[in-house]
Amino acid sequence: GAGVSQSPSNKVTEKGKDVELRCDPISGHTALYWYRQRLGQGLEFLIYFQGNSAPDKSGLPSDRFSAERTGESVSTLTIQRTQQEDSAVYLCASSLVTAGNTIYFGEGSWLTVV
Amino acid sequence: KNEVEQSPQNLTAQEGEFITINCSYSVGISALHWLQQHPGGGIVSLFMLSSGKKKHGRLIATINIQEKHSSLHITASHPRDSAVYICALISSGSARQLTFGSGTQLTVLP
């Protein structure tokens, strides 16, 4: 597609449920990033994928968070047993090779855990 | 000390004013991004710099690698420029993640 596409754009879920967030990067972009932004706070790095290399998972806040990416295409971020503190906007971004290239952000998935 | 420091945190300006937002960092970098985040949350990459200066319309970004400092300037500011501006850097030797500044909330009044 023309830009980074994320779905769902909004998700309200009950505490304890699992959620999956999807990111479709720009075609040809080998680097894909997930970030989180809680209300009123800055951006937090979650995970980085680069081609077929092992992902950098150093930003995942707990083992309830996981992400997968199939090749150089779609990525899913899964949050298991959601907690209220998981409420945030989850932003996906992609770039051509590395973060030394222009980065393109999706519109984000707004997650509310009630 | 944070690796990336932005100033000011908040800035209110009158339409037409020249605006400067500063970003200082303490690590070696390979590149620095200036991002714009609108109230709805969407983020747009304005510039990616590794040296010198870039200009796009009314926006100018400069970086001084030796002084570890970058600035974003907005000339003839307009209310539609109101947004959060974030600098984000890529540390030398690591292309894996961005380190974000805390952002500058800019409000331009008509």
pLDDT of residue B74: 97
pLDDT of residue B41: 67
Which one has a higher pLDDT value, A62 or A96? A62
Instruction: Evaluate if residue A1 carries a pLDDT over 60.
Output: no
Give, in order, the Cα–Cα distances in Å from A114 to each of A12, A15, A76, A86: 7, 6, 22, 10
Nearest CA in chain B to A107: B42
Instruction: Evaluate if residue B79 carries a pLDDT over 70.
Output: yes
The token duo for A52 is 């077929």
CB contacts of A93 in chain B (<8 Å) are 43
Among A24-33, A103-112, B11-20, B90-99, the range of highest mean pLDDT: B11-20
pLDDT of residue B45: 86
Nearest CA in chain B to A88: B41
| Rounded CA separation A6/A105 (Å) | 9
The token duo for A35 is 């970030």
Q: Which of B46, B97, B100, B104 to mutate to test the interface with A (most CBs of A within 10 A)?
A: B97
pLDDT of residue B85: 95
Q: Are strands A10-13 and A109-113 parallel, antiparallel or unpaired?
A: parallel
Instruction: Evaluate if residue B16 carries a pLDDT over 90.
Output: yes
Are B104 and B85 in contact by the 8 Å Cβ rule? The answer is yes
pLDDT of residue A37: 87
| Rounded CA separation B95/A48 (Å) | 10
pLDDT of residue B38: 82
HEC letters along A70-84: CCCCCEEEEECCCCH
B20-29 per-position pLDDT tens digit? 999 999 988 8
CB contacts of A48 in chain B (<8 Å) are 96-97
